[in-house]
Amino acid sequence: MRSVSLAVLAALLAAGPAAAQMGDMPGMAANPGPTIAPPPTAAELKLPRPARARGIPGALAAEGALTAISTCLGNGYKVTGLVTDTAGVPIAMISGDGAAAITQRIAMTKAQAVLKYKMTSGEVAAKAAADKSFAAEVKADPMIETARQGAIPIMIGSEMVGAFAVSGAPGGDKDEPCARAGLAKIADRLR
């Protein structure tokens, strides 16, 4: 037991600022690293701010994400809904009450898989299961690593304008219907 405590202590020390932040939360199990990257450095702040890639309006994104969350809640699952633009920048990210914090980062991996391969993340997972070199490519991408079902492309006609991801149900096959319901709610108003 002592060696375990020492290992935890050593790991916490090594983990530095992120872990120190977690240590500020008495009585809480540690969350696995912040969802959103740290604030920009002074140098980053001075850079020109690039125009956003194609995406859908913020209000529609939030409405779709809320619908996905309530759909999953109706099935008994507490999830995060994430809508991104075509560059993977979030437009709306909403976590339902009781959804695990890590589902936010998992949802992002699904959205990245959709955007990179222009198919559902479930199709990416199926392809990775059947194709070793493709699986290795997925694993080598630090924004994806593991392909998981639960995200779908947002299409206007034949053009992809973003990704809609859900995470939190016990299995991507249970996340994807919620993403589809969320997207269906806003599909005829997309622009």
Binding residues for another protein restricted to 17-36, rule: CB under 8 A: 17-19, 21-22, 24-25, 28-36
Which residues lie closer than 8 Å to 3 by C-beta, 6 or more apart? Answer: none
Give the containing element (helix H, strand E) for 27. Answer: none
Q: What is the closest distance, in whole angstroms, from the C-beta atom of residue 142 to another protein in the complex?
A: 5
Q: Please, which residue, 146 or 184, has the CB nearer to another protein?
A: 146
Q: What is the closest distance, in whole angstroms, from the C-beta atom of residue 123 to another protein in the complex?
A: 18
**Part of the chain binding another protein (CB under 8 A), chosen from 93-101, 114-122, 152-160, 174-182:** 93-101
**Part of the chain binding another protein (CB under 8 A), chosen from 13-21, 116-124, 128-136, 176-184:** 13-21
Residue 144 interacting with another protein (CB under 8 A): yes
* Of the candidate residues 67, 72, 86, 94, the single one contacting another protein (CB under 8 A): 94
Give the three-class secondary structure for 159.
strand
Single-letter amino acid code for the residue at 43: A
**Part of the chain binding another protein (CB under 8 A), chosen from 53-61, 114-122, 124-132, 177-185:** 53-61
Q: Please provide residue 82's backbone torsions phi and psi, each rounded to the nearest 5 degrees.
A: -130, 130
Angle at 94 between CA 176 and CA 64, to 5 degrees: 55
Of how many residues is the chain composed?
A: 191
Residue 140 interacting with another protein (CB under 8 A): no
Residue 157 interacting with another protein (CB under 8 A): no
Q: What is the closest distance, in whole angstroms, from the C-beta atom of residue 78 to another protein in the complex?
A: 7
Instruction: For 165-187, give one letter per residue: b (16+ CB within 10 A) or e.
Output: bbbbbeebebbbbbbbbbbebbe
